[in-house]
Structure 1
Amino acid sequence: MEANDILTQLDKCAAEFKLPHPDNGYFYAVDVRMHLYRDPGRWALIIETVGYNPRMGNLVNVVGTYGNCLITGEPGWENESFHDRVENMEEIDDQETYAGGIPMVVRGRTPAVEAEPGEPLEVVFRRLVPEYRDLILADEAETQSRIPGDLPKVLQLEEWHQPEDIETLPSTSETYQQIAEVLASGDVGRYRPSLSPNTHWSNWPDSGTL
């Protein structure tokens, strides 16, 4: 299991726009998380990207899955990889602004988030972070739905440095080079970033603007 083989798969997915990026013009960026799984012969990388997609009409967690041991589908995402988080969008959505008068329901809970009628929904949804981020990020069943259940997790990242240009291939990115080294070797010490994290939504002002 070589780092170059891992990067080759990620490069192919990136070239086919099957690798998530916070600067997605159709998603207002809200939150991210990354999971690394491996054993001596298998590897898997899960990248969560949570964002408000007005076209899909919800706050959506897209769970991208990559690896050499997928139990279903191809690297990237399938229809089942898109997880709506708000259960009462029809009640709180007034032409992409908060309707007011009723709290949002997120996975069966009503988080105490301050919101005024008329506020853009992406602004309201971003207030779920950090207190309620575990409501919008994936649970274990969602994260591991396409990988073997016995594959050990070796690293979880809450933030990282994402290349600013969406066309940058992972093989040329320090972040993904080091992630590939961890997955190939099992040595988490090989993830030693020199670049500051930039995956917070505030670093991507053009996300969701198409």
Structure 2
Amino acid sequence: MTTSSTLGQFDLCADRAEFPGLDNGYYYPVDARIRLFRDITRWAMVAELLGCTPRGGNLIDVVHRFGNCLTRGEPGFGDFLVRVDNMDEIGSDGAGVYAGGVPVVVRGTALTVEADAGTPLQDVFRLLAPANRGLLLADETELRAGIPSDLPELMRLDEWNEPKDLWDVMPSGHETFQMIAEVLDSGDPTWYRPTLPANTHWSHWPDAGTL
């Protein structure tokens, strides 16, 4: 477990387009989170990108897992967690806009929407996200589906600075992931001392989802 080996795994996944990138043209970003786990010999990072996918027809939490102790799968894409139970009711004839007057049902919970009919669905989900992160992002069972259940959590990031283009800047060349690798190597969260402003809010990615 070294900084260089961790960054090497990140870069390998980025080269395969399996590293979390908020500039993805296939979904509109809604929310994001990173959680780090570690003990003396094991490490894992779980990154979630919650987005509205026009082609997938739902709000999906894309879970990426990395580490030296994954219990299933390879580093990179993990699970694609579909969140909305009643897309047929809230969508307007598949046009990607809100039908109006219908709650959004997420994992059996009805969430009231303060949005007019015709509002783009990604904007509806963005309105719901701040107060409902616990429903929309992975719960503990989903989170640990691919990592050891006894691996202690070390740090959580609800925002960070993401490279604008992972083809131009690999994770090993970016401050955020360099510091994350240092935290995982040392077990000391104080290594995370960002100098770049956080940009994971969806408003920083106006072209995402437009393919």
Indicate the TM-score class for this superposition, using the shorter chain for normalisation: over 0.9
Computed over aligned residues only, the root mean square deviation of the Cα atoms, in angstroms, reads 0.9
User: Could you tell me how far apart the structure 2 residues matched to 1:16 and 1:36 are?
Assistant: 22
User: Could you tell me how far apart the structure 2 residues matched to 1:113 and 1:103 are?
Assistant: 6
User: Could you tell me how far apart the structure 1 residues matched to 2:10 and 2:143 are?
Assistant: 18
User: Could you tell me how far apart the structure 1 residues matched to 2:113 and 2:137 are?
Assistant: 17
Q: Is the 8 A contact 2:102 2:112 kept in 1?
A: no
Provide, for residues 61-100 of structure 1, a one-character-per-residue CA deviation record: whole Å limited to 9, x for no partner: 001000000111100124xx00011100011111111112
- Aligned-pair CA distance for 1:4: 0.3
- Aligned-pair CA distance for 1:159: 0.2
- What one-letter code is carried by the residue in structure 1 that aligns with 2:191? R
Aligned to 1:38: 38
Q: Is the 8 A contact 2:102 2:113 kept in 1?
A: no
Q: Structure 2: 5+ residue runs without aligned partners?
A: none
- What one-letter code is carried by the residue in structure 1 that aligns with 2:83? R
Partner SS for 1:56? coil
User: Could you tell me how far apart the structure 2 residues matched to 1:92 and 1:67 are?
Assistant: 38
Greater shift in the superposed pair: 3-12 or 88-97: 88-97
Residues 1:175 and 2:176 aligned together: yes
Residues 1:18 and 2:21 aligned together: no
Aligned to 1:124: 124
- Aligned-pair CA distance for 1:113: 2.2
User: Could you tell me how far apart the structure 2 residues matched to 1:152 and 1:131 are?
Assistant: 26
TM-score (norm 2): 0.96
- What one-letter code is carried by the residue in structure 2 that aligns with 1:182? V
User: Could you tell me how far apart the structure 2 residues matched to 1:130 and 1:92 are?
Assistant: 20
Aligned to 2:153: 153
Q: Is the 8 A contact 2:43 2:67 kept in 1?
A: yes
Partner SS for 2:210? coil
Alignment of 1:88-167 (within 5 A): 88-94=86-92, 95-167=95-167
Provide, for residues 138-193 of structure 1, a one-character-per-residue CA deviation record: whole Å limited to 9, x for no partner: 10111110011111100000000001113121100000000000001101110010
- What one-letter code is carried by the residue in structure 1 that aligns with 2:127? R
Aligned to 1:204: 205
- What one-letter code is carried by the residue in structure 1 that aligns with 2:49? T
- Aligned-pair CA distance for 1:101: 3.2
Work out the number of aligned pairs and report it: 208
User: Could you tell me how far apart the structure 1 residues matched to 2:24 and 2:81 are?
Assistant: 17
User: Could you tell me how far apart the structure 2 residues matched to 1:204 and 1:112 are?
Assistant: 26
Aligned to 2:84: 86
Q: Is the 8 A contact 2:44 2:66 kept in 1?
A: yes
- What one-letter code is carried by the residue in structure 2 that aligns with 1:126? R
Alignment of 1:176-191 (within 5 A): 176-191=177-192
Provide, for residues 38-70 of structure 1, a one-character-per-residue CA deviation record: whole Å limited to 9, x for no partner: 111111000000000010010000010000001
User: Could you tell me how far apart the structure 2 residues matched to 1:189 and 1:113 are?
Assistant: 39
Partner SS for 2:22? coil
